[in-house]
Amino acid sequence: MPNHPSPPGSASPAVSRRALLTGTAAAAGIGLTGCGSVAGGLSDKTRVKQWNLLAGADGAVMTEMHDNFSAEHPDIDLEATTFGWGTPFYTRLVMGASGGNASDIATIHLSRLKSVSPATLLDPITLDELKAHGLDPADFPEKIWEKCFVDDELYALPIDTHALVNYYNKELCAQIGVLDAEGRLIETSGVEAYFDILRAAKEITGQYGTSLDTLGGWRQFWAWYRQADGEMTFTDDDYEMDDDKALAAIEVMYKMSEEGLCPQFADGGQCAANFENAASAFVQVGNWEINRFKLFGGDNPEWFSMTEMPDFFGNRRTQGDCHSYVLPRHNSWDPEVRDATIEYAAWMLQHSFRWGEGGGHTPAYLPVTDGTDYQALQPNAEYSGVVENVQFDPDAWFSGSAARLFDETGGIFNQVYGLQMTPEDALAEIKSRIETLLALPNPVD
């Protein structure tokens, strides 16, 4: 993709990660003219264009927050556009940024940051901009903050942590006898201990113990593979993974389906419906479904609760990611638009209690998550420890949320759950897909 740098003298160099972390960065200038949005125009408002891929239940919460932002900022015309999740969104982002015609700010998955070629297609963010709008590096979890940098430049602002979690029907779990004195799901250790709970749940529901998205099997695989301390690293033309640990993770999936403890097929909508209709006592799905289940409960929104993934291999690691704000590359920036853009991002982070409450995601902004209001929020507080257990997908251009590794392995894991492919054959096919992807060039480079 062609590079569209700012004209000479229009912007100072981005500050380094070291400067951001120590708070000693120098002031940075801002470009002279806007490429996309413009200040003023036909009205007195400064227009800020925002692109996102949040079309689910969390998208409705984001829209509500956008309305509140606009009400508090009558001088800013926020123009938010939602594109199709996954490939449609990232294709639009890359094409728009390569031509200098993207939005002023966009919401991406942090796991995809390097795959969108930030040095070419994104503009870095400076410490002075953050401070001017009340943000500080210390406001974010260190592990997540570090992932926002590429080549010592800050390209992303984390919005949240979202992860694969374990929802449970409180009434059914009470019948099984697996709630503690505080009414929370007991912790187990090992595959068999949790399978025993699923077997008991299956007897009560008459159908399944748990439900899950069989087309999104990468999430379950990566959670259990990482619980077993499995590593997956990529170089330009090679990779390393632990076959024994990968096979153990896939065998869990196969055995769960073989015993009828989960559906042999269920997409995202079906697995959620199974839980709602008491066809299963549990469902393993992302924390973004919290609002759907609350609404389903009607006058009883507390019919369910949530906790971290069960401990199968010695810990409760799980697959997850972060939504993050990035600034698509502009040929140059109108200073009023740039300032309004950072104000939008800062406001959304500072008001992300609502994002956690309604969207289910754990806000990345620590003044919110460490606050007494959030710590008292249920069921969010019960799974708040997931932030420390989130495992990002392996680092490769074809990896990350909605990337090709996720998509292409989905069909393989679906066949495992359908008992149409053995774990050994599935592992061989996964490795073959990885080798094919490694041989392809990064289309963004």
| 308, pLDDT greater than 90 | yes
pLDDT in tens, 26-66: 333 333 333 445 555 557 899 999 999 998 778 889 999 99
The pLDDT assigned to 42 comes to: 57
What six digits make up the tokens of 355?
């994002």
Which positions ≥6 away from 211 have C-beta within 8 Å? 262, 263, 266, 270, 271, 272, 274, 275, 279, 280, 282, 283, 284
Averaged pLDDT, 230-237: 93
pLDDT for position 443: 84
Task: Quote the tokens at residue 372.
Answer: 């007494």
Question: What are residue 14's phi and psi, to 5 degrees?
Answer: -70, 150
Asked if 17-159+322-370 and 164-320+393-438 have one fold, the answer is yes
Q: Tell me which DSSP letter residue 312 carries.
A: S
Residue 319 has pLDDT above 80, yes or no: yes
| pLDDT one-digit tens code per residue, 169-212 | 999 999 999 999 999 999 999 999 999 999 999 999 999 999 99
Cβ contact 306:166 at 8 Å? yes
Query: Across all residues in the chain, what is the average pLDDT?
Result: 90
Digit-coded pLDDT (tens) for 76-94: 999 999 999 988 999 999 9
Q: Write the CATH number of the domain with boundaries 164-320+393-438.
A: 3.40.190.10
CATH architecture group of domain 17-159+322-370: 3-Layer(aba) Sandwich (3.40)
The DSSP bridge pattern shows strands 46-52 and 105-109 to be: parallel
Stated pTM of the model: 0.87
- What's the confidence (pLDDT) of residue 4? 32
Under the banding of pLDDT at 50, 70 and 90, the label for residue 382 is: confident
**Comparing C-alpha atoms, which of 350, 439, 377, 412 is closest to residue 69?**
350
Band the pLDDT of 237: cuts 50, 70, 90.
confident
Task: Output the CA–CA distances (angstroms, integers) from residue 62 to 51, 99, 300, 346, in the order listed.
Answer: 12, 27, 24, 14
C-alpha closest to that of 127 among 13, 6, 23, 32:
23
Structure tokens at 284: 């393993």
Domain residue limits, the chain: 17-159+322-370, 164-320+393-438
